[in-house]
Structure 1
Amino acid sequence: MRKLVIYVAVLLAGVGIFSPQASAQDREAERIYTVIVDRFLNGDDSNDVNVTEDKSEALPFGGDFVGIENNLEYIQEMGFNTVMLSPVFEKADDDYLGYDVESYEEIAASFGGGEALENLIDAAHARGMKIIVDMPVIVVDGYEVLDTPVLSDIQQSYYDTTDVQFIDLTDIDNQAQYQEMAQTFVDEYNVDGLSMNVIQSDIDAQRFMPEGVETYAIIEGENVTVEGFDHTTDPALRNAIIEAFSTVDTEIPEYPTEDILLLADHWFTERFTIHAVEANMFPGTRISQLITYLYGYPGAIAFQYGTEVAFNGSDFPEIHPQMDLWTDKEVVDHIVALNEVFSKYPQLYNGEREVIKNAEGHYVQRYRTSDVDFILNINDSSVTKSVDVPIEAEDEGKMLSGLLIGDLLRSSDTEGDAFYAILDREETELYAIVEETGFNNGYLYAGLLIFGGFGIFIWFVAKRRKR
C-alpha cells in the first residue's frame, strides 16, 4: 500500500499538483551497491573453479561478472548508480573474497577473466552507472612487507585462512610500483573508481593511487588516519548509525560533510541486520528506515549486497551468503519506490541543510534549494511524534506536500507560525514546500469516472448474479 501511495505522489508531483524541476546544475548523489563478485550470482558455470556445494564453507560459490551484468537493472531500479566490486585479480583457487592475490596483471579466470570484466563495465556505462573496484594491498613480487597491519576481528578471521603478506604503503618504492600497477589497470579497463580496505595508518592516497579516478578508503580498524582519498568512512559514525537504526528511540547522527562515505555494513564488518535481531526489532522496518536516512544524505553512501533482503551474520564466512533475488521483496519494493521520489528531486542535494529537531529518534531537517525547499521528517521512535516546522517568510501561502506517505499540511490549517507535522512510529516523510493549490479538477473528474465506472460494474455484476 505504501508503495502505491509513493508512486501516486510521484505521479501527482510530475503532472499536476506541484512540479519543482531539477536544474542543469543539480548533481546526482552517489549511491554505491557493494558486491562480492563470487557471492552474487553464477551467470556462467563454465568458469567455475573449486566451487563448493556446502554453503557454510569459505570456498567459492561460482559468482562471476556475468551474474552481476545480468542483474544491473535490479541494482539500478533501487537507485544505485555505482557498483563497488570486491577484488577482481587472479587469486588462489580456494579464495572467494579476492584478497589472496597471485597476480595484479591478470583478471580472475573464475570470475570470467578480462573480457567479461570489460563487458560488465561497458554494460554499466551504457546504463549511466559507474564501476569501482577494490584494490588489495597484498604482496606479490618486489614489494616491501608491512610488519604491523591494523586488522579488525573479521579481517583477521579471513586472513588467518591465507598466507598473504601486506604491502607497506609508506615505502616510497612500494608507492611508485603500486601506483604504476593501479594506473595500468584503470587505463586498460576504464574503471571509474578504486576503493581500499585500509589496514595501515598515516598513508596518503595521492602517493600510491592513480590519477583520473575517484578513490574511497574503507576503514575498519580503530585509530586509523588517512589522507588523499576522495571519500573516507568513519568507523565511529558507522557505529552511531547502527546504534540509531537497529532499534528505536536513539539519537540519529546528523549528516556529516560530503567527503565522508556513509554505510552501515561492508564485507569486512558484521551485517547490519544482526543488530536489529539482537534488539528484537523487525529487520524489514529497520532496513527501510536506514535506507531512507542514507538516501537523504547528499554525499556518497554504500549499501552491501543482500542487506535489502536482511542477510544476517557476525563473522566470516557466514556474513557472505549467496545472493537471493527470489526472497521476500518488501524492502526491495520500498527502496525502488523511495528512489522514484528522491531521484526526481536531485536539487535537494545541492543546497544548504538545517536540522530542525534531533532528539530520541526523531530527526527533522530542512533542505534549502534555489526553487523548492524540502523537509525530511524521520520518526524512528516507538511512539507518534510531532514537530513544529517554522513557517518562514518565503513559506507564506505554501503547504507541505508529502512525497513518501502523501501527507498534506496547509498553512491555512496551522495555528501560529509553524506547520504542525505528525508521524506515526517508525515512519518517514519527505515534504516539498510548494504553493497551496485547491483540488485538481482533472484528477477529481478522473477519480469520479474511475470509481463511478467501478460502481456501475459492481451493480451490473450483482444484477446478473441475482438473475
Structure 2
Amino acid sequence: MKNRVWTLIFIPFLLFYALPTGAAETEDRKWQDESMYYLMVDRFNNGDIKNDYEVNVQDPKAFHGGDFLGIINKLDYIKDMGFTAIRLNSIFDNEENGYHGKWIQDFYKTEEHYGTMDEFKQLVKEAHKREMKVVIDFEINEVGPNHPWLSESDKKNWFHEQKKGEPPYLNQDNQDVKNYLIDAAKWWIKESNIDGYYLGNTDLASESFIREFVKEVKGAKDHFYLLGGVQSDDPVTIAHFQEMGIDGFIDYPLSKNIRPIFDQVDNSLSDLITNKEKIMADYPDPYLMGSVMDTDDMIRFTHNAVAKNQHPGPRWKLALTYLYTTPGIPIVYYGSEIALEGGEGEANHRQMDFRTDKELIDYITKLGELRGKYPSLTRGTLELLAEENELSVYKRTYEGETTVIAINNSSESQNITVPSKLLEENKELRGLLSDDQVKGSDKGYTLFLDREEAEVYILAEKSGLNIPYVIATIAVYGAFLTFIILAWRKSKKKRAQGE
C-alpha cells in the first residue's frame, strides 16, 4: 500500500524531469569525439620515489621524478576534467638527462625513471577502466645523440649523412631500419594495448616508409589512431601527409592564427571562423586534426598573455571555448588548466602544480561535459552567423541538433543580433555555461555578453506552458486522489465492521 502511494506521488516529478534536453542521441564513440590531455611524464607527478635516480628538481635539464604510478594516481583528476584520452611523451629508455623522451637508447624498454613495463601496462589498463584512451609519442626519425648504432660499422647505412648543427637522422629507406621501427611499433601495441601514436616531424621521414608504417600499424589494432606533426604551417603540406593514411595532425596553422587573437583583449575576431573554414577545406578529414594552444616545443600561451599584461584566466577561457567548440580534437597541454607559465625549451617543461586555484579547471570540466553531451560540438557543420568587432557568433549543426557559440573578446559588454533566417524561428537559445535564455523574435536572436566572456547555447523549443505535461499531471493527480479517497473509504468501512 505504502509503496503504491509513493509511486504515484513521484510520477509527476519523473514526468517533469524527463523533459527533452535537445541533445542528439549518443552514437558510437569516434576519435573526433575525444578530448586529449597531453603530459610529460617526468614533469607531471611523482608516484614512486624508488625510481628517482639522479633526480634534481632544481635543474630544468634533469629528471624531476614523474612516473607511470604518478599518472595512475592522477587519472581521476584528468577524467574529472572531461578528458577522454591522454597523450604521453616518448616513454622509451633514454640517455642521461633525456627526461623529455627524445634521446632514445632502446625502443623495447621503458625509461627507468618512469617505471617498469608492468607499471606502464597497469597505466593503460587503469585508463581503459575509466574509458580513456592512451596515445604515446613514437620517434620515427631520431635516436639519442650517443646511441650505440652510431658507432657500429654495420649500421652506417642506418643514418643519413649528418649536416652541421643537426642530429643524425634515421634512414627509413634502409630496409633494416624500416623493419626495426615497424616491428617495435607493433610490439608495443601487442604488449600494452595502447590506442594511438604521435609521430613527430613526419615530413622528415621517407614517404614510402610512412605509407608502409601506417598500413602495418593500423593493421595491428582496430581503430588505432595516428597523429602526426610536421614542421610546416602550410595546410596543403599537412594535407599531403594526411592523405598517406595518418588520421590527423597537430593543426599548427590553426594555432598560428588563434594564439595572437586570444592572448590579448580587444583583438578582432573577424578572421576567427573564416580562417578556420579555409584551413578545414584543405584537410581530407578536418575533424581528426589536433587543435592546440600549447605544445612542448613552443612558448606557453600563458607567457604570451602575461607579457602583454593580460590576466591569463579569461584569455584561456575564451581560447579553450573556441578549441572545444570548433571541428578538431582539442589537445590540452598539461598545466594549461592552471595557466602554467613557460618560455622556450626547458622553460616550457615546468613541474605541474596541483595546489592551485580551481576556477579554470572547473571551466574546462564544463566544456568537456558539453562536448560529451552534444554531438553537434564534435561532428557538426561549422557556420559563421554574425560578427562585430571583437564579438563572433557561430553555430554547429548535426542531425537536427544546433549549438550556437558566442565569444566576446572585448573589454566592453556587447550585444549582437543573429538574423532569424540563420536560425529556426519561434525557438529559444538556452545558455549551457550560464542560465542565459534568449527567445527568438521577428528580428532574430539578440545575444548579450559581458566583457571577456563566452557562451554556448542549445537551440530548443520555447519554454512555457507544456500542455501535454499539464494534462498528464492532472490525470496522474486525479487518479492519485481517487485512489486515496477509495482507500480511505475502504479503511473506514473496515473499522466500522470491526466495531
TM-score range, shorter chain: 0.7 to 0.9
Alignment partner, residue 253 of structure 1: 272
Question: Match for 2:247 among 216, 230, 235?
Answer: 230
Matched, 1:176 2:179: yes
Indicate the SS of the match to 2:105. strand
C-alpha contact 1:18 1:434 (8 A) present in aligned 2: no
Matched, 1:20 2:39: no
Matches within 5 A, 1:71-82: 71-82=74-85
Indicate the SS of the match to 1:219. coil
Matched, 1:356 2:385: yes
Instruction: Specify every segment of 5 or more residues in structure 2 that has no aligned partner in the other structure, as ranges.
Output: 1-15, 150-154, 281-285, 470-499
Alignment partner, residue 305 of structure 1: 334
Question: Match for 1:206 among 199, 203, 211?
Answer: 211
Shift of 1:360: 3.7
Supply the distance in 1 between the matched residues of 2:306 and 2:177 (Cα, whole angstroms). Answer: 44
Give the AA of the match of 2:436.
D
Give the AA of the match of 2:66.
G
C-alpha contact 1:27 1:350 (8 A) present in aligned 2: no
Q: Number of residues paired by the alignment? A: 415
Question: Match for 2:439 among 410, 417, 440?
Answer: 410
Superposed CA RMSD in Å reads 2.8
- Change over 3 Å in CA distance of 1:199–1:409 after alignment to 2: closer
Supply the distance in 1 between the matched residues of 2:375 and 2:251 (Cα, whole angstroms). Answer: 25
Deviations 1:339-395 (A, max 9, x none): 233322224432322111345432211122223311111112222232222324982
Shift of 1:16: 6.2
- Change over 3 Å in CA distance of 1:387–1:23 after alignment to 2: same
Matched, 1:423 2:449: yes
Question: Match for 1:216 among 219, 222, 227?
Answer: 227
More helix by share: 2
Matched, 1:117 2:134: no
C-alpha contact 1:35 1:304 (8 A) present in aligned 2: yes
Deviations 1:230-280 (A, max 9, x none): 111233321112111111323353243224211011111111111111221
Matches within 5 A, 1:343-422: 343-358=372-387, 360-392=389-421, 395-411=424-440, 414=441, 416-422=442-448
Alignment partner, residue 242 of structure 1: 259
Instruction: Specify every segment of 5 or more residues in structure 1 that has no aligned partner in the other structure, as ranges.
Output: 1-13, 151-155, 443-467
Matched, 1:138 2:149: no
Matched, 1:104 2:121: no
TM-score (norm: length of structure 2): 0.77
Shift of 1:397: 2.5
Indicate the SS of the match to 2:142. coil
Q: Which structure is larger by alpha-carbon Rg, 1 or 2?
A: 2
Matched, 1:334 2:369: no
C-alpha contact 1:292 1:338 (8 A) present in aligned 2: yes
Shift of 1:170: 5.0
Give the AA of the match of 2:349.
H
- Change over 3 Å in CA distance of 1:420–1:359 after alignment to 2: closer
Give the AA of the match of 2:158.
E
Question: Match for 1:436 among 462, 468, 471?
Answer: 462
Indicate the SS of the match to 1:395. coil
- Change over 3 Å in CA distance of 1:417–1:358 after alignment to 2: closer
Question: Match for 2:43 among 39, 45, 54?
Answer: 39
- Change over 3 Å in CA distance of 1:149–1:39 after alignment to 2: farther
C-alpha contact 1:399 1:436 (8 A) present in aligned 2: yes
TM-score (norm: length of structure 1): 0.82
C-alpha contact 2:24 2:401 (8 A) present in aligned 1: no
Q: Percent identity at matched positions?
A: 28
- Change over 3 Å in CA distance of 1:260–1:361 after alignment to 2: farther
C-alpha contact 2:418 2:446 (8 A) present in aligned 1: yes
